[in-house]
A = this chain, B = another copy of it.
């Protein structure tokens, strides 16, 4: 699809991409008849990775790969791997010892639907599965691409990325954070993996330095806009649409972009970031239209 797309077209394309990645995940995840203690681990991993969700990160992988005419069968594996990392992080972040959430995407969280030990192990299993997927030589992917994707995923997930971000989030003092700190936290907790998702397409497509820089710039602004939109939804959204409890940030005393910028200021900032994200894509032609629509979608969504 290389023609400009409206919001409806975008929603349809997002849904179609989600179906592609879910089909790949369904194949790549362990089967529930696996002999691992009654298949309970496999069930929990599948519950976590195949539940409702926008599949935004896989979408970014598939659409950035599309820019370079990468075979979708190759891109969908990287997309599935990155979704596994995202799913793992949600499972562990929801645990009683962490954010202690009972609901996620309108369903019971994994430790509520199964139990705490299973949730910890399902998270560990999803994290390692991501590396099994991207490193598998049966994909006939260049060893360089496999190792580089694994490295980028590990860095985004690890102590300087998502794990470190979650730690910072848990230990942040109530109300003490300023904009620099909140931005840094966002970059670690969500921005790093969104960046990998956007760069994965370039990596698979052997993009040149200028294209990689454009993708990184797009990912940076998109990720920040996405977080601001999330913070706005926590304040203004309705729990039944968002699919989890709202007002949690304020209850937890967490400083959000809305606290710092106000509702209108946060909305304006998000719109500005979306414009910037779209500008980064000037490097690309009509093939980037879905990525432009994705940026606009981040601030228009209701969940």
Contact = CB atoms under 8 A, between A and B. Distances in A.
Copies of this chain, count: 2
A238 interface: no
B124 A92 contact: yes
Contacts of A34: 159-160, 164
Number of chain A interface residues as a range: 35 or more
A53 B30 CA distance: 33
Interface stretch (A4-12, A36-44, A203-211): A36-44
Contacts of A148: 135, 137, 143
A128 B150 contact: no
A41 B127 CA distance: 19
A27 interface: no
A174 interface: no
Contacts of A164: 30, 34, 36-37, 41, 125
Interface in A140-192: 142-144, 146-148, 150-151, 153-155, 157-160, 163-164, 166-168, 170-172
Interface of A: 30, 34, 36-38, 40-42, 45, 92, 95, 97-98, 115-118, 120-121, 123-125, 127-129, 131-132, 135-137, 142-144, 146-148, 150-151, 153-155, 157-160, 163-164, 166-168, 170-172
6 contacts: A37-B170, A41-B159, A92-B124, A121-B166, A127-B128, A135-B148
Top-8 shortest CB links A-B:
A37-B171, A128-B158, A135-B151, A131-B154, A97-B116, A146-B147, A143-B143, A125-B159
